[in-house]
């Protein structure tokens, strides 16, 4: 039987991440052949992976990586089965190593086929499944390119990357704030202009129906009813709709006996309230139309505009689960 030294065991452990005893057993079985020992550990990972194929990998680590000149960013989720493993320092380090490699590739498939220390990323994940004893896989892969890309990661659970049209003064602060907004508020699109009219119509009908159902219960309880909006997106607020809303507001002021000479001071607030009440979908799903988390009186669009001639060109968000 080949004599296995502590140095050989240490080298195999460093290469594979496997435990000391697993590395020693693999080297003994391989009669000291280093490459064969790696193959033995890999096959062990394949067996474990096959047994755990139907497990949920809803825990793990979310990682964002931006290249040196801030023109490319990637966000990935390396999934595992338990929060205990997901928080492990070595697992988090693996996630960061994988993100460093992911930024060099354009698709998840290309990334999984890339070389990672003499094996593919896909093979590395199988190997680590054997090492850790849990299903390990890439649950999300998102990439973005722009004149400037910023990122934000929230406690390794959510990662966001955001692209901007230009590099302006203090772009680092702007990029971090907007990426934080993306991570925190979960926008799905950039602007209400991106919505499909059929989606907005369907969503409007569903939301109105839900509020009306809630109001039936509130009536039974004798409580204040919720406002039932006519619309839910700025995409529905045509010039005609806004003109009618203004006319209705003026009629209300007249009925309240407010002097016409002060209407100009009151109307902007009423119109702002009308738009706010009738754009709930935009506020939930459209990044630029959301209230800015650091200043609820401003929208993200207004905050970005305060930095000068720069615009958000796109964003990506990944999260566990």
Do residues 67 and 90 both lie within one domain? yes
What is the span of the domain harbouring residue 287? 193-298
Do residues 208 and 177 both lie within one domain? no
Q: What CATH number should be reported for the domain holding residue 31?
A: 1.10.8.10
How big is the chain, counted in residues? Answer: 321
Do residues 266 and 209 both lie within one domain? yes
The reported pLDDT for the residue numbered 51 is 67
- What is the pairing mode between strands 59-66 and 137-145? unpaired
Look at residue 236 and tell me if it is in a domain.
Answer: yes
pLDDT digits (tens, 9 = 90+) for 222-248: 999 988 888 999 999 999 999 999 999
Do residues 63 and 180 both lie within one domain? yes
pLDDT digits (tens, 9 = 90+) for 127-175: 888 878 888 899 999 999 999 999 999 999 999 999 999 999 999 999 9
What is the count of structural domains for the chain?
3
Do residues 107 and 153 both lie within one domain? yes
pLDDT digits (tens, 9 = 90+) for 46-87: 666 566 767 788 899 999 999 999 999 999 999 999 999 899
The reported pLDDT for the residue numbered 3 is 74
- Average pLDDT over every residue of 24-51: 75
Q: What CATH number should be reported for the domain holding residue 154?
A: 3.30.479.20
Strand partners, 319: 158
Look at residue 306 and tell me if it is in a domain.
Answer: no
Do residues 141 and 160 both lie within one domain? yes
Residue 134 has phi, psi (to 5 degrees) of -130, 155
DSSP per position, 6-53:
HHHHHHHHHHH---HHHHHHHHHHTTT-HHHHHHHHHHHHHHHHHHTT
Long-range contacts (CB closer than 8 Å, 24 or more residues apart) made by 83-88: 83/59, 85/59, 85/60, 85/132, 85/134, 86/59, 86/60, 86/61, 86/156, 86/320, 87/156
Taking Cα atoms as reference points, which of 234, 240, 320 lies closest to residue 58? 320
For residue 189, give the DSSP letter: B
Residue 17 — pLDDT band, cuts 50, 70, 90? low
Do residues 71 and 174 both lie within one domain? yes
Do residues 206 and 130 both lie within one domain? no
Look at residue 303 and tell me if it is in a domain.
Answer: no
pLDDT digits (tens, 9 = 90+) for 253-266: 999 999 999 999 99
Do residues 18 and 67 both lie within one domain? no
Do residues 71 and 176 both lie within one domain? yes
């Amino acid at each position: 039987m080949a004599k296995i030294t502590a140095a050989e065991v240490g080298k195999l452990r460093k290469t594979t991440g496997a435990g000391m005893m697993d590395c020693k057993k693999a080297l003994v079985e391989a009669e000291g052949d280093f490459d064969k020992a790696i193959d033995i550990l890999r096959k062990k990972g394949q067996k474990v992976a096959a047994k755990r194929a139907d497990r949920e990998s809803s825990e793990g680590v979310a990682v964002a990586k931006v290249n040196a000149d801030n023109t490319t960013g990637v966000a990935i989720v390396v999934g595992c089965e338990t929060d205990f493993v997901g928080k492990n320092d070595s697992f988090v380090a693996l996630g960061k190593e994988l993100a460093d490699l992911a930024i060099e590739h354009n698709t998840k498939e290309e990334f999984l086929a890339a070389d990672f220390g003499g094996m593919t990323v896909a093979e590395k994940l199988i190997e680590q499944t054997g090492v850790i004893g849990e299903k390990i896989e890439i649950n999300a892969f998102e990439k973005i390119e722009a004149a400037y890309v910023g990122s934000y990661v929230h406690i390794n659970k959510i990662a966001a990357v955001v692209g901007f049209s230009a590099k302006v003064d203090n772009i680092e602060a702007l990029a971090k704030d907007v990426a934080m907004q993306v991570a925190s508020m979960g926008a799905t699109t950039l602007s209400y202009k991106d919505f499909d009219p059929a989606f907005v119509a369907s969503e409007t009908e569903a939301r109105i129906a839900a509020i009306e159902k809630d109001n039936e219960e509130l009536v039974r309880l004798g409580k204040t009813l919720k406002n039932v909006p006519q619309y839910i997106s700025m995409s529905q607020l045509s010039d005609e709709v806004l003109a009618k809303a203004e006319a209705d507001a003026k009629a209300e002021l007249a009925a309240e006996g407010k002097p016409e000479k002060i209407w100009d001071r009151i109307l902007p607030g009423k119109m702002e309230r009308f738009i706010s009440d009738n754009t709930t979908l935009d506020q939930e799903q459209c990044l630029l139309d959301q209230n800015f988390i650091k200043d609820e009186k401003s929208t993200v669009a207004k905050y970005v505009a305060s930095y000068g001639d720069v615009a958000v060109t796109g964003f990506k968000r990944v999260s566990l689960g």
